[in-house]
Amino acid sequence: MEYKAKDYSRLIGMEGFSPELLRRHFTLYQGYVTNTNKLLEILEQMLRAGNLNTPEYNELKRHLGWEFDGMRLHEYYFENLGGNGRLSRRSRVAAAMIQNFGSVQAWEKDFRATGAIRGIGWAILYQDVTNGRLINFWINEHDKGHPAGCNPLLVMDVWEHAYMPDYGIDRAAYINAFFRNIDWRVVEERLL
């Protein structure tokens, strides 16, 4: 089964994100989809040929996580954008934030601080599937540091390609634009 790049062109025109930035970001995402498919095809061929336990096989297996997670994280990111940024205080997400952080404002303060961490990566609000707890995580690399047994609810890309073409080094302005465009309906649907 081949993965297909999803069409996120509906986001073009979104406040705070130039069409050029979004088109470049979509192209980057499409590269992850293409590379995921290529790696899966090569690994399948190696399996059929019995070329396992080789340095080439091992490195391709290691690299698959990078490409696959790059694909999937971008899908989560684009899908939780395009909204009006307003979180209903009566939503299940708001209730979970209040339960876990004391208030929606405390959650937002923590998420913004997570997104402002120096370096490249992702700020992700996860829900621990074992107890429902919400935790904001900083993830450096696509394929490293994801908490086992947790469901991503809100994903913010904080690699340079996500904001520097429009904001330069002003990551805080990008984070403000991100918050103005969150589609909380999508986040709510992800909540278990």
Whether 156 is in a domain gets the answer: yes
Q: Using an 8 Å Cβ cutoff, are 191 and 96 in contact? A: yes
Whether 84 is in a domain gets the answer: no
Mean pLDDT of 168-179: 98
Q: What percent of the chain has pLDDT over 70?
A: 100
Whether 86 is in a domain gets the answer: no
Q: Which residue, 180, 186, 164, 175, is CA-closest to 15?
A: 180
Residues 115 and 139 in one domain: yes
Whether 1 is in a domain gets the answer: no
Q: What does the pLDDT look like over 26-37, one tens digit per residue? A: 999 999 999 999
Whether 44 is in a domain gets the answer: yes
Please state the pTM of the whole predicted model: 0.97
Mean pLDDT of 98-110: 98
Q: What does the pLDDT look like over 109-137, one tens digit per residue? A: 999 999 999 999 999 999 999 999 999 99
Residues 186 and 99 in one domain: yes
φ/ψ of residue 32, rounded to 5: -65, -40
Distance, in Å, from the CA atom of 17 to the CA atom of 155, rounded to the nearest integer, reads 16
Residues 27 and 102 in one domain: no
Q: Using an 8 Å Cβ cutoff, are 42 and 111 in contact? A: no
Whether 2 is in a domain gets the answer: no
Q: How confident is the model at residue 156 (pLDDT cuts 50, 70, 90)?
A: very high
What per-residue confidence (pLDDT) applies to 19? Answer: 98
What per-residue confidence (pLDDT) applies to 5? Answer: 98
63 is in an annotated binding site: no
What per-residue confidence (pLDDT) applies to 51? Answer: 95
Whether 146 is in a domain gets the answer: yes
Domain with 105 in it: 92-190
Residues 117 and 159 in one domain: yes
> How many independent structural domains does the chain possess?
2
- Dig out the tokens for 46 from the structure: 């190696």
Residues 122 and 169 in one domain: yes
Whether 32 is in a domain gets the answer: yes
What per-residue confidence (pLDDT) applies to 28? Answer: 98
- From edge to edge, which strands make up the β-sheet containing 134-139? 134-139, 122-128, 150-157
Residues 62 and 106 in one domain: no
Residue 138: CATH number of its domain: 3.55.40.20
161 is in an annotated binding site: yes
Average pLDDT of every residue of the chain: 97
Residue 56: CATH number of its domain: 1.10.287
What per-residue confidence (pLDDT) applies to 178? Answer: 98
The burial class, CB within 10 Å (0-12 / 13-18 / 19+), for 77 is: buried
What per-residue confidence (pLDDT) applies to 153? Answer: 98
